[in-house]
Chain A
Amino acid sequence: DAMVIQNPRYQVTQFGKPVTLSCSQTLNHNVMYWYQQKSSQAPKLLFHYYDKDFNNEADTPDNFQSRRPNTSFCFLDIRSPGLGDAAMYLCATSEERTKETQYFGPGTRLLVL
Chain B
Amino acid sequence: SQKIEQNSEALNIQEGKTATLTCNYTNYSPAYLQWYRQDPGRGPVFLLLIRENEKEKRKERLKVTFDTTLKQSLFHITASQPADSATYLCALERDDYKLSFGAGTTVTVRA
Contacts and interface: CB of A to CB of B under 8 A. Distances in A.
Interface of A: 4, 6, 33, 40-43, 45, 48, 88, 90-92, 97-98, 100-107, 109
A107 B42 contact: yes
Which label, helix, strand, loop or mixed, suits the secondary structure of the B interface? Answer: strand
Interface centre among B4, B36, B44, B45 (most CB of A within 10 A): B44
A90 B101 CA distance: 13
Interface residues of B, number: 21
B44 A43 contact: yes
B34 A104 contact: no
B49 interface: yes
B41 A109 contact: yes
Given A42-B4, A101-B46, A103-B46, A48 B98 contact: yes
A104 B45 contact: yes
Contacts of A92: 43
A100 B32 contact: yes
Contacts of A40: 103-104
Nearest to A103: B46
